[in-house]
A and B are shown apart, each in its own frame.
Chain A
Amino acid sequence: MDALKWSSNKITSFNFNLSLLACLLITLFAIFSFSPAIAAEDKLGNSNNTVTQQLGVKSPATDLWRAVRQREFKGSAGLSSSSQVKSMGSTEFINIKGQEWRNFRMGQLVPYAAYLLGGVLLVLALFRLIRGKIKIKAGRSGKKILRFSPFQRFVHWSTAILFVILGVTGLLLTFGKSGLIPIIGGKAFGAMAGVGKVIHDYLGPVFGIMLLIMLFTFIKGNFGNWTDVKWFFKGGGMFGGHASAGRYNGGEKAWFWVAILAGAVVVVSGIVLDFPYFNQTRDDLQLSHLVHAIGSVGILAASFGHIFMGTVAMEGAYESMRTGYCDENWAKEHHDLWYDDLQAQGVVGAGASMSGSAVAGVGAVAAGAMLREPSSNASGSTDGSAHVSGGSSDIDKQGLMDTGVSSSKKTPVKTADKKSASSSSSQSKKTGSSSTSGESDNLKKIEGIGPKIEEILKGAGLSTFSQLSHSNPDDIKVILNDAGPRYKMHNPKTWPQQAELADKGAWDELSDLQDRLLGGRE
């Protein structure tokens, strides 16, 4: 009744007033005198809305609109609906999930992503301020251990660069409206976000491919074990004393798996958004966006921790991914079990190690060493570990000077790395590795021979340059073939010739010869 009074205030037409009056009367009439009629209406299955009951009649549109509101017209689930217009969701009256999605995006994603990412940054900044940079306690040894092969570094940095670009262009959409539009204005931001969107949409799938390659490249050494559990209980060494770690520590492994698994979620949901060829409905897209956004924010928060540890938080970490080599003392302190393994394999340590004299061939040394030691790469597959003397980049040089290590035996900068090799080889001759024949040379001086092959040759009784120089390449080939299929590829043709020069101490000539060789072959 109230509703009718209200409408009568609004409606002024004479005719209408008349009909309204009649309507009021009839309503009263209907209620008090014709209750059977109302009962009959109810039996027809009409709704029990009170206003309707009072009126005895209702707008036929009421049922329709109520059904629309309650989403009864939706595909196979409810009553069917159709439209001449054929496009995504064109037969739907009301997009049910729209409001939920809006609430998620505006009420949850934007604020919670800000809290989470901001909170992580804050915690990391506090950690850095309170704890300070994690130094190499024993200082730098100046001795370098190969930690990542060039391929591993390539995979890591391509993935990392793509990730950073995707993160920036993605967060631009999330925070641009609240963060940037007030500063640079809507037009400028629109132009920026437009470019960002295209970049994001194109690089996303590339990131997916790189992530897959990263999975295979780094999975070795990233399986969890008890050491990692203990590592976490000790907070990575923050409390409860030194936390042991293998090639990767618990935190690194956790990051690896977060990056791979959350990354996969982000990639899959991103592809659903990116390629509308799977008959995606609007509901699918809303869901994908939700998954994509949550996954992205999660992986971004975790990546802050990784990037923090890999750069400003820890001395000696960045260079290992930058140059491929880490300092021996860094390895001892942060990856002690890995270091022990390398020592057991004879890759590092007293016997195999060369003195850290050569600040000399800065830069070139690292690259050179890598080329001259194919065996180490081949044998260690992607997980190659070998060592080389000397600084390998400007950063290392800086580090060496900072800690004042190994200034005693500086060779002039221009000397080729073969020179420094000569001095260290004679040294290692004296120190001697635990070879059976008593006397033994560092056979790795010969291009084509790495630590593994050296071991094999020494096992076969070829321990010195002189012994090697007198042997037949074909015989060496037989030794290599016996050692296993992976050594078949090595061609020892030039080794006796090189060994002869090494035996004579003709290092310059050897160096010249080696310059003409590629991987010990002609």
Chain B
Amino acid sequence: MANVKFYCDSERCIECNGCVTACKNENDVPWGVNRRRVVTVKDGEPGERSLSVACMHCSDAPCAAVCPVDCFYTTDNGIVLHDKETCIGCGYCSYACPFGAPQFPESGAFSSKGKMDKCTFCAGGPEETGSAEEYQKYGANRIAEGKLPLCAEMCATKALLAGDANVVSDIYRQRVINRSMSTLASNVGIQKNFLGSSPDLTGKATK
């Protein structure tokens, strides 16, 4: 089975927050919880970049390791899901998670947090696939319908990639190389214009 992953391309993300909204709508995410968020650095300065962050579905998931009631499980696709029936809302998963993915619908006295909620890679939860309970607790199960997570599908610039990790990395690798190419090509142009030499791209070392 494929091992699925998200990847966000910082060269393409335009901080439109479309993924955040798409997720919230598709999964009917509890009030106050955002399973996905866009973080921007150097806002308004040169080098500004944005990344869309959510659960990364870790292979060695820290949340699952620390959960005192052991309510996490990993699907055949490598999607990290959890059981809200068993969750006690202790918050430990949110302390351990590197990406701030686990969130809580409540934040009241006596450590009342409610059941933890996090990105499911649009793969629902332990309840019967496609059932009303599953939708109510975890949101859509698009994976079961053969679809990818809506956040990535919605992404206008295709910055956010989701799917088989190999495919995602191939796409990204291709993008990197293409970008290198264009940078190099512009370098070549610079060399030509300013150094007077004319680089040859035919593959021969000397002319």
B62: which A residues are within 8 A, CB to CB?
A: 98-99, 102
Q: B residues within 8 Å of A by Cβ?
A: 9-11, 15, 17, 20, 32-34, 37-43, 47, 49, 51, 53, 62, 65-71, 83, 85-92, 94-100, 103, 107-112, 170, 173-174, 176-181, 183-184, 187-188, 190-191, 195, 197, 199-201, 203, 205
- Selected from B88, B94, B200, the residue in CB contact (under 8 A) with A282 is B94
- When the two chains form their complex, are residues B20 and A82 in contact, meaning their CB atoms are under 8 A apart? no
A61 contacts the other chain (CB 8 A): yes
Distance from B124 Cβ to chain A, minimum over Cβ atoms (Å): 19
The complex places the Cα of A33 from the Cα of B183 at a distance, in Å, of 17
Neighbouring B residues of A56 by C-beta, 8 Å: 184, 187
For B181, what are the chain A residues with a Cβ–Cβ distance below 8 Å? 19, 22-23, 26
A16 touches B38 (CB 8 A): no
- A161: Cβ under 8 A from any B Cβ: no
**Contact with B98, one of A80, A91, A94, A197 (Cβ below 8 angstroms):** A94
Asked whether B49 lies within 8 Å of A98 as measured between CB atoms, the reply is no
Bound CA–CA A60/B177 (angstroms): 12
- With most chain B CB atoms within 10 A of its CB, the pick from A10, A190, A277 is A190
Q: 1/0 contact trace for A366-410 toward B, CB 8 Å?
A: 000000000000000000000000000000000000000000000
- Choice from A20, A87, A97, A274 contacting B103 with Cβ under 8 Å: A87
Q: What's the minimum C-beta distance from B184 to chain A, rounded to whole angstroms?
A: 5
CA gap between A189 and B51 in the complex, in Å: 39
Task: Verify B9–A80 contact, CB threshold 8 A.
Answer: no
Question: Beyond the given A7-B173, A87-B33, could you list 20 further A-B residue pairs with CB under 8 A, ordered by the A residue number?
Answer: A11-B174, A22-B201, A26-B188, A34-B199, A57-B179, A57-B180, A57-B184, A60-B11, A64-B49, A81-B40, A87-B37, A87-B103, A92-B100, A93-B39, A93-B99, A95-B97, A99-B96, A189-B69, A191-B86, A275-B111
Minimal beta-carbon separation of A323 from chain B (angstroms): 36
- Give the shortest distance, in Å, between A52 (CB) and chain B (any CB): 10
Query: Which residues of the partner chain B approach A94 to less than 8 Å between Cβ atoms?
Result: 98-99
- From known contacts A30-B184, A30-B187, infer whether A25 and B203 are also in contact, taking CB-CB under 8 Å: yes
- Indicate if A505 sits at the interface (CB-CB under 8 A): no
- CB 8 Å contact bits of A83-103 with B (1 = contact, 0 = none): 111011111111101110110
Contact A80 B41 (CB under 8 A): yes
Q: Which residue of A lies closest to B15 (CB)?
A: A84
Q: Given A26-B188, A93-B51, A275-B109, decide whether A102 and B96 contact each other with a Cβ distance below 8 A.
A: yes
- A63 neighbours in B (Cβ, 8 Å): 47
Shortest Cβ distance from A105 into B: residue: B66
- Given A10-B170, A19-B178, residue A282 in contact with residue B100 (CB < 8 A): yes
Q: At the interface, is chain A mostly helix, strand, loop or mixed?
A: helix
Cβ-neighbour of B66 out of A65, A106, A191 (below 8 A): A106
A30 to B181, CA, bound (A): 12
Q: Which residues of A does B touch, CB under 8 Å?
A: 7, 10-11, 13, 16, 19-23, 25-26, 28-30, 33-34, 36-37, 55-61, 63-65, 67-68, 73, 79-85, 87-95, 97-99, 101-102, 105-106, 173-174, 176-177, 181, 186-187, 189-191, 193-194, 197-198, 201-202, 273-277, 282, 285-286, 289
Asked whether A59 lies within 8 Å of B179 as measured between CB atoms, the reply is yes
Within 8 Å by CB of A190, from B32, B71, B188, lies B71
A17 CB to closest chain B CB (Å) equals 11
**In-complex Cβ contact of A29 among B49, B99, B199 (8 A):** B199
What residues on A are CB-neighbors of B205 within 8 Å?
A: 28
Q: Which residues of A contact B201 (CB under 8 A)?
A: 22, 25-26
Q: Contacts A85-B20, A289-B95: A80 and B42 contacting too (C-beta < 8 A)?
A: yes
Shortest Cβ distance from residue B197 to the other chain A in the assembled complex, whole angstroms: 8
* A11 touching B41, Cβ below 8 Å: no
Min distance, Cβ B172 to any Cβ of chain A, angstroms? 9
- Are the CB atoms of B110 and A87 closer together than 8 Å? no
Do A90 and B85 touch across chains, with their CB atoms under 8 A apart?
A: no
Contact, CB under 8 Å: A193 / B68? yes
**In the complex, what distance in Å separates the CA atom of A274 from the CA atom of B111?**
4
> Which listed residue, A10, A16, A91, A286, touches B95 by the CB 8 Å rule?
A286
In the bound assembly, the distance between CA atoms of A473 and B165 in angstroms comes to 97
Beta-carbon contact of A177 and B99 below 8 Å? no
Considering only CB atoms, which chain B residue lies closest to A172 in the complex?
B68
Known: A99-B98, A174-B68, A186-B86. Is A83-B37 also a contact (CB below 8 A)? yes
Indicate if the CB atoms of A105 and B92 lie closer than 8 Å.
Answer: yes
C-alpha gap A64/B42 in the complex (Å): 10
B197: A residues at CB distance < 8 A? 33
A95 in complex: contacting residue of B69, B92, B98, CB < 8 Å:
B98
Whether A82 contacts B68 by the Cβ 8 Å rule is no
A181 to B180, CA, bound (A): 53
A190 near B87 with CB under 8 A, answer yes
User: Once the chains bind, are B174 and A67 in contact (CB under 8 Å)?
Assistant: no
Verify B37–A90 contact, CB threshold 8 A: yes
Q: Check A84/B20 contact, CB under 8 A, given A94-B99, A98-B62.
A: yes
Instruction: Give A78 Cβ to nearest chain B Cβ, in Å.
Output: 9
Q: How far is the CA of A81 from the CA of B49 in the complex (A)?
A: 10
- Pick the contact of B88 from A79, A87, A106, A190 — CB < 8 Å? A190
Known: A101-B95, A106-B66, A274-B109. A57 touches B89 (CB 8 A): no
| Beta-carbon contact of B184 and A73 below 8 Å | no
In the complex, 11 of the A-B residue pairs with CB atoms within 8 angstroms, ordered by the A residue number, are A10-B170, A23-B181, A33-B197, A59-B179, A68-B51, A83-B40, A84-B38, A95-B95, A102-B62, A189-B69, A274-B110
Q: How far is the CA of A13 from the CA of B53 in the complex (A)?
A: 30
In the complex, what's the smallest C-beta–C-beta distance from A9 to chain B, in angstroms? 12
Contacts of B188 in A (CB 8 A): 26
Give bound CA distance, A67 to B51, whole Å.
13
Once bound together, how far apart are the Cα atoms of A91 and B34, in whole Å?
Answer: 13
- Is there an interface contact between A193 and B41, defined as CB atoms closer than 8 Å? no
A198's closest neighbor in chain B, by CB?
B110
Q: How far does the alpha carbon of A441 sit from the alpha carbon of B36 in the complex, in Å?
A: 86
Chain B residues whose C-beta falls within 8 Å of the C-beta of A26 in the assembled complex: 181, 184, 188, 199, 201
Say which residue of B65, B109, B184 sits within 8 Å of A23 (CB atoms).
B184
Q: Which of B37, B91, B190 has the most CB of A within 10 A?
A: B37
